[in-house]
Amino acid sequence: MTSPLSPDEIERYARHIVLHGVGGPGQQKLKAARVLVIGAGGLGSPLIQYLAAAGVGEIGVVDDDTVSLSNLQRQVLHTTADIGRLKVASAQEAVARLNPHVKVTAHPLRITPANARELVRAYDLVADGSDNFATRYAVSDACFFEARPLVTAAVGAFDGSLTTLRPHERDVQGRPNPTYRCLFPQAPPAGAVPACAEAGVLGALTGVLGSMMALEVLRELTGFGETLVGRLLLIDTRAMRFETLTYGWDPANALNGTGRDA
């Protein structure tokens, strides 16, 4: 059972506690929550910082990479002094400076279909800021089988997307919620989506999307507002345009489709 908020925590989270839709009960939910973040890079940097600042009790961070100089244009969790260090170690120290009430569990490894379910199982919610489809499929499949909500985002050079997945649940009409494979049935052909090292990425864009991931995680944990389940938010920074597309369950999908046991 989560301990009551201390006087220090009450002052720290005062603007949440007076916020209609969060309040004291919502802040207690955040303190009790365990969130697994996939990636401590461009999206993970603001995501981890805002989850820590909000008082999420435990943040697991999965990343097997080290900090490089070219990361610092967008990965604001890390500093010049962190170059060469594991990103998960840098993340732990950054969160400790920001909020000593938050526990960070480092997972210095690459997530795969072989280890994803075990990692996901230990947390209440997963936020995926990875940069490749193989990881996204491994994470989203694991979240489906372990019945964990997933907030997932991706960025291109000047654009990005964000959605939330709860395919282990049904909507108000009793229909299955869509899976990640309903939205993206197959990964694009190799080379079709250039890596950011080739195409580039606008640094501030990762800040916007990572912060919005944190907002969606906080929404899912506390229950305020309207979720992004079944909705894909698209951002185009060149036109400064935000659009939301709806998508639904595909009965042909490989996870909870009608032919999965065939």
Written as tens digits, the pLDDT of the chain (262 aa) is: 678 999 999 999 999 999 999 999 999 999 999 999 999 999 999 999 999 999 999 999 999 999 999 999 999 999 999 999 999 999 999 999 999 999 999 999 999 999 999 999 999 999 999 989 999 999 999 999 999 999 999 999 999 999 999 999 998 888 899 999 999 998 877 666 666 666 789 999 999 999 999 999 999 999 999 999 999 999 999 999 999 999 999 999 989 888 665 4
- For 29, the 3-state DSSP assignment is helix
Q: Which two tokens stand for residue 146?
A: 């372990």
Listed by start position, the domains of the chain span 8-246
The 10 Å Cβ neighbour count of residue 106 is: 18
If you count DSSP H runs as helices and E runs as strands, how many of each does the chain have, helices first?
Answer: 10, 8
**CATH fold of 8-246:** Rossmann fold (3.40.50)
Residue 105 burial (CB < 10 Å; 0-12/13-18/19+)? Answer: middle
160: phi then psi, degrees, rounded to nearest 5: -155, 170
Q: What are the distances in angstroms from CA 138 to CA 30, 129, 181, 240?
A: 26, 13, 11, 32
Angle at CA of residue 94, ends 106 and 54, nearest 5°? 90
pTM metric for this prediction: 0.95
- For 129, the 3-state DSSP assignment is coil
- Residues 93 and 86: their CA atoms lie apart, in Å, by 11
Residue 160 burial (CB < 10 Å; 0-12/13-18/19+)? Answer: buried
Q: What are the distances in angstroms from CA 61 to CA 56, 81, 92, 190, 262?
A: 13, 20, 9, 27, 37
